[in-house]
Amino acid sequence: MKLKKILGIDIGGSGVKGAIVHTKKGHLVTNRFRIPTPQPATPEAVAGVIKKITEHFKWTGPVGVGFPGVIQRGIARTAANVDDSWIDRDLNKLFSETTGCRVHVVNDADAAGMAESKFGAGKGETGVVLLITVGTGLGTVLFVNGKPVPNLELGHIILHGDDAELYASDAARKNEELEWEAWAGRFNEYLLRLEELIWPDKIIIGGGASKKGEKFFPYLTTKAPVVPAKLMNEAGIVGAALVSRYYNKMENKDRKKKKK
């Protein structure tokens, strides 16, 4: 199976976006196609949207999907900002059956991190690199000498007695109509807390808020340098495709071994 081009899809709170990705070059080879996230965003309804995206691209090859929750071997374990009915569903199976394609699902922050580490702001970095996606939630991924620690849920550490995500995400800024400076103060507190816990050498900020870096980067005071993600809102799609490529390769190897 040729694995150069893979359909990458990112499930977000407001939209499900997909594009075909050149996995060796790390960029999109088509425009992004976006369908609003169905409400309620149940697994079946979202599976229907993913099917529509594969149909839009007339796609039958491998697909990688980024999901905003913990994913263990294709199974959703948490659903902080989506419907609880996702928990414990086998999403690899559900999406593969619905689309007829070979689908691999991965945590959305892990996907974005893979893309940034291979092609973006984390390229060639050694040491400890923390990537935070700032959007509806706070997605986190840690790279140690280029290798990720999957499903690291540091968006849910406790700050001021509550989930950090409710205090310092971009959704918190919007919901509470905070000025950038006020929100930057909160986000800085969050970063300082993480720094005390894991001492990253570099922090990369991705997700929706990364496009507005000039509004809050000046207020950040961590010891580690903070830089914006390079792939911006493409990282989730590119990364999902990269992860799918990785799993397809592994599974193909396993199949060959079994045949011998």
Using rule CB under 6 A, residue 122 touches ligand BGC: no
Comparing CB distances to ligand BGC, the nearer of 137 and 200 is 137
Q: Which stretch binds ligand BGC (CB under 6 A): 26-34, 56-64, 104-112, 194-202?
A: 104-112
Q: Which among 120, 122, 119, 109 has a CA at the least distance from the CA of 150?
A: 109
Please report how close the Cβ of residue 136 comes to ligand BGC at its closest, in angstroms. Answer: 6
Q: Which among 145, 105, 87, 135 has a CA at the least distance from the CA of 232?
A: 135
CB 203 within 8 A of CB 191: yes
The HSE-up count of residue 90 (CA atoms within 13 Å, CB side) is 6
Closest CB to ligand BGC: residue number: 137
With 0-12 / 13-18 / 19 or more C-beta atoms within 10 angstroms meaning exposed / middle / buried, residue 232 is: middle
Tell me, what DSSP letter sits at residue 218? Answer: G
Using rule CB under 6 A, residue 139 touches ligand BGC: yes
Site string for ligand BGC, 41-80 (x = CB under 6 A): ---------------------------xxx-------x-x
Q: Which of 92, 107, 244, 248 binds ligand BGC (CB under 6 A)?
A: 107
Q: Which positions lie near ligand BGC, rule CB under 6 A?
A: 68-70, 78, 80-81, 107-109, 133, 137, 139, 153, 155, 165
